[in-house]
Amino acid sequence: MRYEVKAPQGVFFGKVFAFPARVYYEDTDAGGVVYYANYLKYAERARTEFIRALGINQQDALESSDKCGFMVRGLNIEYKAPAVLDDLLCITCELTEMKGAGAEMKQEIYCGEKLLAKLEIKLAYVSLSKKRPVRIPEEIVQKVQSL
């Protein structure tokens, strides 16, 4: 039997992308709250879906002759309140700067109206074969500017 399912999808609200995530038992620590490192995983998933929602296939970039992709080069996170089992989270992504080989993004994680965490991310577009930053392709820049 074949089942048709759809992956969770986010949505753009102007320039802000919002992605849903549920807190599962595996995400929590012995105290029943989300383990601090898992907020980074939620943020990574949202950034991946942000890129996908722009119509950019990351797998194509990784399989191209250039083998390029975005990598985190710096991160600052401020925890405001804990998430707990079964919470429905909303992770936002907002690109605040993009130039040359770098980009900066602001992310926030909410449960309802409550802000749980704020992240400031610095990204580099990197040639994996050359192991160094390269200019972000114009196609990506144009898609971001169209928001």
Q: Would you write out the chain's pLDDT as a tens digit for each of its 147 residues?
A: 688 888 888 999 999 999 999 999 999 998 889 999 999 999 999 999 999 999 888 777 667 667 888 999 999 999 999 999 999 999 999 999 999 999 999 999 999 999 999 999 999 999 988 889 999 999 899 998 888
Q: Which of 29, 60, 66, 87 is catalytic?
A: 29
Is residue 7 in a domain?
no
Strand, coil or helix: what is 147? coil
Residue 69 belongs to domain spanning: 13-145
Q: Total structural domains in the chain?
A: 1
Assess whether 27 carries a catalytic annotation.
no
Q: What is the CATH number of the domain that holds 32?
A: 3.10.129.10
| pTM for the full predicted model | 0.91
Is residue 51 in a domain?
yes
Is residue 6 in a domain?
no
Is residue 1 in a domain?
no
Q: By the 8 A CB rule, do 99 and 125 touch?
A: no
Buried residues in 67-81 as b, exposed as e (16+ CB within 10 A): ebbbeeeeeebeeee
Is residue 5 in a domain?
no
